[in-house]
Structure 1
């Protein structure tokens, strides 16, 4: 049976797209503990502006935002060819795998470190490897809860908006359903993770959380727009891989499933 699955192009494509989807989601969660400054990273002067009465704001973002656009692109591509059920399946699977990964991180952190290893990087500016290991992989439960909740709500929002737009446009206006669904889902994702973590867990004021969320969303909004040509490129590669006839049949089948949902 496995040979039939591997030889079947639609099945193989789903595995490839799902692999990128899951890998980037998990990578984003793991590396997201780091906050980077966007402006110096791209070689411009660091911003400092006021929004909603909150001063000193700049584009200090989680590194997790870097691979996250790939997740939303994969969401739209999977929705296009496999329907909302394919997106839901991968979303729940990914959320479970992320939770499993953090469970393993927790177990790994609480193993007893070898004494020589714990002090092995002092010459490189890391006085305690166990403390560093715990800080990087041992993200608090509040941020894990916020991130997982935001991921699921954002994914389901993306799939739902994509489906509704496709019902109206059919095969036309790929850019509209891909970009608009991503903009909505990114907004929901940003709101959920910001308020659960910053407002409820860390106790930031409502205006400050709102201002931070708005700044973060402007970055995600810009990236979503810039990624639109990439959607067309991936569509073209898939059409070439599957063949126009099979690709068209899959899109029709996905649209019929969406009408039934």
Structure 2
């Protein structure tokens, strides 16, 4: 049960840091959050954990905050600004992938280097993870923005924010999970089919639960005043 209780604390810390980032840095802070969250989520996803007897990967909480961010941008600033954040996340992931692959090529010091092996373990998988993430990110994030904009027109009430947020996320994250897990993990010797199925199932459920839990924080963030306004 340790992972469960620690996971609750982990989720709360992520959401609180998100609020702090927006409170102090405004709209620019949201763009920065998307960039950082995109990179960190793709590093965390390498680590697998067990919870309730099921295998799942980390990174889901951080990745869910990207949906939270794009929904907040769409809610307060419009669809154009939300799309801008999506493109910024694209750039951050491509940039980090290219740079870290070049870093791995450097010949390490034969005696005394402590980082090369660990970095190869983590970032050696990054190209495949990045490809899966980019494809999933592209289709799901833009779908999320479109669905949110549609729901915003159908359910425009201020107290209907939870419908717009959870409705758009439920559909877009399903597509995101399937695309990412297929490209990143399917056919890998490290992830046989039964493990892959568990990862797909737990990843989607966890992402959606975290997204639902983020709704109160979205309401809080909506009431913040951007200092640049």
Q: CA deviation at 1:204?
A: 5.0
**What SS is found at the alignment partner of 1:61?**
strand
Q: Superposed, which structure 2 residues align to 1:22-41 within 5 Å?
A: 22-37=35-50, 39=51
> What TM-score, normalized to structure 1?
0.70
Structure of higher RCO (CA pairs closer than 8 Å, 6+ residues apart): 2
Q: CA deviation at 1:155?
A: 0.6
Within 1, Cα distance between the matches of 2:141 and 2:166?
14
Q: CA deviation at 1:217?
A: 1.3
Within 2, Cα distance between the matches of 1:208 and 1:133?
25
Matched with 2:167 is 180
User: 195-204 or 138-147, which moves further after superposition?
Assistant: 195-204
| Structure 1 residue ranges without an equivalent (≥5) | 1-11, 40-45, 48-57, 121-128, 247-261
Within 2, Cα distance between the matches of 1:211 and 1:105?
30
**What SS is found at the alignment partner of 1:229?**
helix
Matched with 1:164 is 150
Write out per-residue CA displacement over residues 74-98 of structure 1, whole angstroms, 9 at most, x where no aligned residue.
1100011222221222212221221
Aligned residues: 203
Q: CA deviation at 1:142?
A: 2.5
Write out per-residue CA displacement over residues 105-144 of structure 1, whole angstroms, 9 at most, x where no aligned residue.
01111101112323x5xxxxxxxx4222211122153222
Write out per-residue CA displacement over residues 38-79 of structure 1, whole angstroms, 9 at most, x where no aligned residue.
x2xxxxxx42xxxxxxxxxx1x22221121221111110001
Q: CA deviation at 1:30?
A: 2.4
**What SS is found at the alignment partner of 2:46?**
coil
Is residue 142–residue 201 contact of structure 1 (8 Å, CA) maintained in 2?
no
Of the three residues 134, 137, 144, the one matched with 2:120 is 134
- Does residue 189 in structure 1 map to residue 176 in structure 2? yes
| Structure 2 residue ranges without an equivalent (≥5) | 1-24
Which structure would you say has the larger Rg?
1
> What TM-score, normalized to structure 2?
0.79
- Does residue 106 in structure 1 map to residue 101 in structure 2? yes
